[in-house]
Amino acid sequence: MDNSSFNPQELAHKWLAGTLTPEERSRFEQWYADFNDEELLLSDSKYTTADQIRATMHNRLTEQMGKPEVPKMKIYTLWPRVAAAAAIVFAVGMAVLYRVPILNLINPVRQVQLTSKPGQYRQIYLADGTHVWLSPATTISYPEKFRGKQREVTITGEAYFEVEHDAAHPFVIQSGAVKTVVLGTSFDIQAYPRSASIEVTVVNGKVGVSATGKTPELITADQRTIYHKATATLIKENYPAASKFLNQRKGIFDFKGTSLQQVAHELETQYGVQISLAPGLTNKAFYGRLQTTTPINRTLNKLCAVMETRWEKQGSAYILHP
C-alpha cells in the first residue's frame, strides 16, 4: 500500500467492520502509534487542552457502546480496538472540521497594520492579490495570509480596493459600524473617524453593505451607500460620478463647479490641516484639477490663482482671503 492510497479514516471504518487485511492492519496500527493528537487544540472551541479532547472521545464512545442494541459482552471484548479505531475516526473528523483553528494555533498568522500619513498615498497588495490604494491618514489591518471562509480586513480613513474574485471566500471589510462584503470588484470606502458619514461607492461589480440593525443593501456600478452616524441610517443612491475614484486614489481631484467650502474640506482631509475661508468665499464655485500629492503650499497657490484669492498661514491653520 503506497502513501498516496493511505486513508486513515477509511481504514478506521474497515477496522470497526472487521474487514482489514493484515497489511492494512499493520499500517493502520503504525499510523495510530505515530498520530499526534496534541495538535487538536481548538483555539476557538470549548476545548483548550488535548486531555479535554481525549475525554470527549472517551465519553462519546462510552455513550455509543452503552446502547442496548449492542451486546454488553461484545463491547467489553472489543473495547481496545473499538476505542482506538473510533478515536481515530473522531480525531480525523475533528482535524478536518477545525482545520483552520488548529492551523492558527500551531502556526498563527501575523496581523499587519499599516497607516498612511497626512498627504501620503500608499499602495499595497494583499496575500490574495487584492490591490489597495490607501488615501492619507488611513489605517488598514489585515492578515499576512488569509485562512478560513472569509478574507477579512478593517480600515479607518479611505481606501480604494480592487478585490481578486473568489466566490468561495468573500472579502469582508469592517469600517466602523459598516460591513462591506464583496466577491471581486472595484470600490471606494470613506470612513474617517471625524466624518459625519461612512460612504461605500462601487466603480465596477457589486458589493453588499450592512450596518448594525439595518437591512443590507446590494449596490452595483455607479451606486453608493451613505451611513449617517448621527441617525444610524443607511441610504442607497445612484452615483454616476463613481469613476472619479480612479483618479482620486492617486491623489488627483477634478472639481466641476464644486463650492470652495467643499474643496477646502477635501484638502483638509487629504493634508490633515485646517483651512478657513473668509466671508463671501464659501459658495464660490471652483473648476479645476488639484494634485494632492504635491506640497500643500503649491496646491493652495494653484487654487488661489484660479479663484483670485490669497492664502496665509496662522499657526498650523490656513486662511483664504479675497
CATH of the domain at 317: 3.55.50.30
Closest to 252 measured CA to CA, from 294, 290, 304: 290
Q: Is the dihedral of CA 244, 248, 250, 251 positive or negative?
A: positive
Domain limit, last residue, from 225, 245, 265 = 245
- Mark whether 98 and 154 lie in a shared domain: no
Cell numbers at 84, concatenated: 482506538
Confidence of residue 62 (pLDDT cuts 50, 70, 90): low
- Mark whether 120 and 222 lie in a shared domain: yes
Amino acid 41: pLDDT: 30
Output the furthest CA–CA distance in the chain (Å, rounded).
Answer: 101
CATH number of the domain encompassing residue 177 = 2.60.120.1440
Give kind and range of the element (H or E) at residue 60: helix 50-65
Q: What length does the chain have?
A: 322
Q: For the segment 124-179, what is each residue's pLDDT rounded down to a tens digit? A: 999 999 999 999 999 999 999 888 888 999 999 999 999 988 888 999 999 999 99
Report how many domains make up the chain.
Answer: 3
Amino acid 260: pLDDT: 94
Contacts with 160 (C-beta within 8 Å, 6 or more apart), sequence order: 132, 133, 135, 186, 187, 188, 245, 248, 249
**Statement: residue 40 has pLDDT above 50:** no
Residue 64 is which amino acid?
Answer: Q
CA distance 276 to 311: 10
Range of the domain at 304: 251-321
Confidence of residue 270 (pLDDT cuts 50, 70, 90): very high
* CA neighbours closer than 13 Å in the CB half-sphere of residue 291: 4
Q: Report the SS3 class of residue 13.
A: helix
- Mark whether 222 and 129 lie in a shared domain: yes
pTM for the model: 0.66
**Statement: residue 37 has pLDDT above 50:** no
Are the C-beta atoms of residues 136 and 269 closer than 8 Å to each other?
yes
**Statement: residue 311 has pLDDT above 50:** yes
Average predicted confidence (pLDDT) for the chain: 80
Q: Is the dihedral of CA 200, 206, 211, 216 positive or negative?
A: positive
**Statement: residue 213 has pLDDT above 90:** no
